Amino acid sequence: MPPQSGNTAGNGQVLEPETKEEPPRKWEVYEQLLRVPIYAVFSRYTNKLRVFELKGGHYQELELPESRVWIADLSLGLGLWQGEFQGIDRLWLRWYDIDGNWILTEAEQQRQRAESAEAQLQSLIRRLRESGIDPDRFLNS
């Protein structure tokens, strides 16, 4: 039986040397594998938004004078917004439309619908009273 060298197993198979190859970092995955055209990073510790655009196979940082970036391919912008979300008031990363208006969250949409429905109800009650109809007759039954 021949002596085993460091690169063969007891059954004669050649073993590949072990390499401790690190998995690619998120930046490398986005830039080199997925080739994501826009890469945005927001630090909640520094409240800074940094945006990188893929040019020539590598990310280049964009200048953001207003902490906002328009992404033409998405017809959306991304920027920093100060306000309350889920009970926490701070700077948040948020989408905006072509007119610069923040895209409403689901909670904001629901609140807006409720306020609109309440305003319509109050208008209807006022018009009924002006027409001589007591709306309480219908609302309290």
* DSSP reduced 3-state for 29: helix
Q: Do residues 39 and 30 touch, judged by C-beta distance below 8 A?
A: yes
Window from 6-10, 16-20, 45-49 with minimum mean pLDDT: 6-10
What phi and psi, each to the nearest 5 degrees, are found at residue 138?
-95, -35
pLDDT score, position 14 = 64
Distance CA 139, CA 133 (A): 12
- pLDDT digits 0-9 by tens, 101-110: 999 999 899 9
- pLDDT digits 0-9 by tens, 64-103: 989 999 999 999 999 999 999 989 999 999 999 999 999 9
Q: Do residues 67 and 79 touch, judged by C-beta distance below 8 A?
A: yes
Distance CA 131, CA 139 (A): 16
